[in-house]
């Protein structure tokens, strides 16, 4: 009898994990932008070439990394954001799994330049297929620049599976917009093949919405605010008369993290009932603040799903919050004197 089970080498384990974390260029971009926000950046620049197939670069002015941390950041399950299992119930950062950079570096060529403000010199690292190929001191600005080149260069099946440039670019713009929407106080820019698609200056949420979706949203937004012990809501919904036939822009953020929820979407649609035609869709950008111990964001590696421990309460707070906001802006006089 002989034993046949072996632990997989890191490079292979990372490549397998990458299959879940990095589905396409936009998933890598999301992880990198979130890391920049977590690092306290006030400015984040994104550079894209060939819809991210050739280059995805994120440059931030955040806190940077020491030489040792820069190397550690590419290890799997290596994170500065949680230390013990209790921390999982009080997550305040985007990241916590410590697998994004390891996954990205398993399936791409990654060049990182990073410097902490108190250091004279920064660190340059070049990692390819999980292997550190180069490490040297470098003169660079405070913060971190990560350039991801030739994504899936070593996974031909994935590379071939990528969609056309316009489709991949659409995903990239969507991820960019989600992060940019949730941090209006941070300056963001997006360049594609040397053309500037977005330059968003720091400001208020309403200004960020106009910066992202265009001037026709100016004056068309209704502020929404609701404060309950369980959940706080703030954000904007579109005036009923501006509802669109196409599904349009609808965003939920829970503790500043973009989430998808058909259930909460229904709560908003329900609040618009009678105000818009059934084939029309309202605009909304709503931020929910919930005690992290009442939610579970650890449902899926890409973290767009979430579990609430009291879904129904949240549903009704969202619904009544939106209803109230719309009511306060309703110019049609009501003939109901019963209250």
Q: Which residues of this protein are in contact with Mg ion, per CB under 5 A?
A: 35, 95, 100
Identify which of residues 146 and 169 has a Cβ nearer to Mg ion in the complex: 146
Q: Which residues contact 156 (CB under 8 A, 6 or more apart)?
A: none
**Cβ-based neighbour number of residue 224 at 10 Å:** 25
Q: In sequence order, what DSSP letters do the residues of 37-101 get, joined into one string?
A: HHTT-SEEEEEEEGGGTSEEEEEE-S----HHHHHHTTSTT--SS--SGGGGGS--SS--SS-HH
The smaller minimum CB distance to Mg ion, of residues 100 and 151, is found at 100
Least Cβ distance, residue 307 to Mg ion (angstroms): 21
The nearer residue to Mg ion, 18 or 100, going by C-beta atoms, is 100
Least distance between Mg ion and beta carbon 302 (Å): 12
Identify what 175 binds: Mg ion, ligand ADP, none; CB under 5 to 8 Å per kind: none
CB of 114 to ligand ADP, least distance (A): 7
15 binds, among Mg ion, ligand ADP, none (CB under 5 to 8 A by kind): none
C-alpha–C-alpha distance, residues 27 and 17, integer Å: 13
Question: Closest distance between Mg ion and the C-beta of residue 95, in Å?
Answer: 3
* Per-residue CA distances from 334 to 136, 322, 327, 328, 339 (Å): 71, 18, 10, 12, 11
Sign of CA dihedral 51, 53, 54, 59: positive
- Distance (Å, whole) CA 287 – CA 224: 10
65 binds, among Mg ion, ligand ADP, none (CB under 5 to 8 A by kind): ligand ADP
In this complex, which beta carbon is closest to Mg ion, that of residue 125 or of residue 205? 125
Least Cβ distance, residue 38 to Mg ion (angstroms)? 6
Planar angle of CA 196, 197, 200, nearest 5 degrees: 95
Nearer to Mg ion, 21 or 322 (CB): 21
Residue 51 contact among ligand ADP, Mg ion, none, beta carbon within 5 to 8 Å by kind: none
Residues β-bridged to residue 122: 138
**CA distance readout (Å), 199 to 32, 117, 145, 181, 217:** 18, 25, 18, 13, 17
The residue ranges that bind ligand ADP (CB under 6 A) are: 31, 35-36, 39, 60, 62-65, 73, 78-81, 95-102, 144
Q: Which does 81 bind (CB under 5 to 8 A by kind): ligand ADP, Mg ion, none?
A: ligand ADP
58 vs 264, beta carbon nearer Mg ion: 58
């Amino acid at each position: 009898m002989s034993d046949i089970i072996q632990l997989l080498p890191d490079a292979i384990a990372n490549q397998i994990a990458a299959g879940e974390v990095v589905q396409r260029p936009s998933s890598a971009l999301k992880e990198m932008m979130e890391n920049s926000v977590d690092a306290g950046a006030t400015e984040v620049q994104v550079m894209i070439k060939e819809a991210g197939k050739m280059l995805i670069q994120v440059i931030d002015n955040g806190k940077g990394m020491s030489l040792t941390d820069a190397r550690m950041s590419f290890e799997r399950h290596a994170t500065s954001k949680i230390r013990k299992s209790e921390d999982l119930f009080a997550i305040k950062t985007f990241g916590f799994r410590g697998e994004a950079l390891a996954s990205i570096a398993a399936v791409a060529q990654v060049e990182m330049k990073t410097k902490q403000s108190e250091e004279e010199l920064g660190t340059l690292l070049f990692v390819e297929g999980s292997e550190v190929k180069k490490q040297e001191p470098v003169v660079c600005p405070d913060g971190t620049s990560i350039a991801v080149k030739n994504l899936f260069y070593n996974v031909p099946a994935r590379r071939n599976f990528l969609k056309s440039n316009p489709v991949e670019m659409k995903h990239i713009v969507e991820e960019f917009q989600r992060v940019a929407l949730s941090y209006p106080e941070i300056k963001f820019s997006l360049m594609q093949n040397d053309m500037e698609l977005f330059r968003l200056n720091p400001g208020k949420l309403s200004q960020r919405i106009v910066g992202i979706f265009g001037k026709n949203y100016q004056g068309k937004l209704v502020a929404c605010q609701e404060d309950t012990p369980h959940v706080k809501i703030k954000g904007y919904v579109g005036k009923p008369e501006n509802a669109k036939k196409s599904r349009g822009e609808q965003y939920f953020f829970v503790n500043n993290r973009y989430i998808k929820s058909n259930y909460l979407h229904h709560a908003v649609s329900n609040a618009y009932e009678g105000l818009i035609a059934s084939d029309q869709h309202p605009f909304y950008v709503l931020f929910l603040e919930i005690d992290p111990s009442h939610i579970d964001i650890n449902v899926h590696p890409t973290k767009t799903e979430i579990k609430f421990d009291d879904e129904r309460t949240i549903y009704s707070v969202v619904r009544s919050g939106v209803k109230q906001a719309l009511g306060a802006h309703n110019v049609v006089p009501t003939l109901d004197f019963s209250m």
